[in-house]
Amino acid sequence: MSGPMLLPGVTGLNGSGQQTTLGVMGGGQLGRMFVQAAQAMGYFTVVLDPDVISPAGLVSHYHIKTDYLDEQGLVQLMQRCAAVTTEFENVPAPALRTLGAVRPTAPGADAVAVAQDRIQEKAHLARSGVPVAPYAVIETRAQLDGVPDNLLPGILKTARLGYDGKGQVRCSNRAELVAAWDALKGVPCVLEQMLPLAAECSVIVARGWDGACVNFAPQLNLHRAGILAVTEAYDGNMPQALSEHAIAASKKIAEELGYVGVLCVEFFVLAEGSPEAIALGGLVVNEMAPRPHNSGHYTLDACDVSQFELQVRTLAGLPLTQPRQHSPAVMLNLLGDLWVDGATPAWHKVLALPGVHLHLYGKLKASKGRKMGHLTVTAVTPEVARSTALQAATLLGIAAF
């Protein structure tokens, strides 16, 4: 089913005393922040996630604890809610297709299916006319043997189910490539040329059922070991021309997909003057996420409308207004590494710094690399936001940036 939608609006009351309920597939931290935004606007929420103590399930009105493809679970979800969204891209597309046949579902199964598979994703990006890293599809031994020399050194990435750098192997030569594909058990992959990165950024757009599209300004992202570590969001974080280019490309990608919901597009900024930058034009799309994104968490504290409120608005067919960022912001991810030696992070000291907003996701167990929460620092100027964030990082034992 597709829009325009007829949901009753921000009070969540349909006039007969029954609360309108919004559903989300997936119970992670993104689902939790969606649920919190929906509840703030008066909606009831229902989460479907097999994990009995999922971050979103813990704060939602209803929690259906079944597998994503469980028929009974999907029926319960459909009965409970007026519309459904998703919070992680590996929700099985067939489940979204089932839901989409009877309830407005945003993003839709087709868009999610594209984002779930790097091979389809790259083909879509190429169709949208945006540059991507030179790559080859590897599904057979013959394709592996036939990769052109210019793709090495490169990164072999599984076509499906990768996240936070998992399912990726860097290869400097053909011998390493063969070993890497074997190590990945010969699943379908893409080999991407290793590009000289000057920086990474992302753009978050929200597109409604009527095609209206709004966006946040590009965020500058620092990854460590394949995981987002720091996001810097303020005027001047990247050259104006690149910023405009990234926004235009992101909107084009959303439009070409007929996308409804919040979409994040991740970009590589190539080292100026490098042969790759000359050949590809300075900015290439890395990948897209069909949902709010870790790099957009600062919008909760630094913008008049957050990415999660936009997810609620797109889903419920409410008006979209162009978000305005009122404070420069720096976001630090809080990974399980901060807890693993048993110590509690120095929250008292960190919260004594001005403009610090602590978000923890209610995860009961910390492990290395697990996203436990984030911290956003807002300030009047980018310089102050950065220096306060650096102080917080030092207090927490996070490396300087």
Question: Binding mask 22-61 vs ligand ATP (x if CB under 6 A, - otherwise)?
Answer: ----------------------------------------
148 to each of 25, 86, 113, 134, 193, how far by Cα in Å? 40, 38, 28, 10, 10
Q: Which is nearer to ligand ATP, 266 or 309 (CB)?
A: 266
Q: Find the binder of ligand ATP among 286, 306, 378, 388 (CB under 6 A).
A: 286
28 to each of 38, 138, 139, 365, how far by Cα in Å? 15, 31, 31, 13
By CB under 6 A, residue 200 contacts ligand ATP: yes
Task: Provide the minimum distance between the beta carbon of 167 and ligand ATP in the complex, in angstroms, as a whole number.
Answer: 7
* # binding residues, ligand ATP (CB under 6 A): 19
By CB under 6 A, residue 117 contacts ligand ATP: no
Q: Which is nearer to ligand ATP, 158 or 306 (CB)?
A: 158
Cα(124)–Cα(112) distance, rounded to whole angstroms? Answer: 12
Q: Where are the alpha helices (DSSP H) in 19-69?
A: 29-40
Q: Find the binder of ligand ATP among 83, 138, 189, 195 (CB under 6 A).
A: 195
By CB under 6 A, residue 133 contacts ligand ATP: yes
By CB under 6 A, residue 188 contacts ligand ATP: no
Beta bridge partners of 103: none
Task: Provide the minimum distance between the beta carbon of 211 and ligand ATP in the complex, in angstroms, as a whole number.
Answer: 27
- Which region among 92-100, 192-200, 230-238, 297-305 touches ligand ATP (by CB under 6 A)? 192-200
Q: Which is nearer to ligand ATP, 198 or 396 (CB)?
A: 198
Q: Which is nearer to ligand ATP, 271 or 353 (CB)?
A: 271
Cα(361)–Cα(372) distance, rounded to whole angstroms? Answer: 6
Task: Provide the minimum distance between the beta carbon of 319 and ligand ATP in the complex, in angstroms, as a whole number.
Answer: 30
Say how far residue 129 (Cα) sits from the centre of its chain: 22
Which residue type occupies 127? R
394 to each of 70, 111, 294, 345, 398, how far by Cα in Å? 46, 41, 21, 11, 6
Cα(349)–Cα(358) distance, rounded to whole angstroms? Answer: 12
Q: Find the binder of ligand ATP among 51, 70, 139, 164 (CB under 6 A).
A: 164
- Which region among 45-53, 161-169, 212-220, 299-307 touches ligand ATP (by CB under 6 A)? 161-169
Please state whether beta strands 21-25 and 83-86 pair in parallel, antiparallel, or not at all (unpaired). Answer: parallel
By CB under 6 A, residue 194 contacts ligand ATP: yes
Please state whether beta strands 197-207 and 189-193 pair in parallel, antiparallel, or not at all (unpaired). Answer: unpaired
- Which region among 12-20, 160-168, 339-347, 391-399 touches ligand ATP (by CB under 6 A)? 160-168
Q: Which is nearer to ligand ATP, 222 or 390 (CB)?
A: 222
Buried b (16+ CB within 10 A) or exposed e, 238-256: beeebbebbbebbbbbbee
Q: Is 391 left (phi over 0), alpha (psi -120 to 50) or beta?
A: alpha
**Contact footprint for ligand ATP (CB under 6 A):** 133, 155, 157, 162-166, 168, 192, 194-195, 197, 200, 223, 226, 266, 286-287
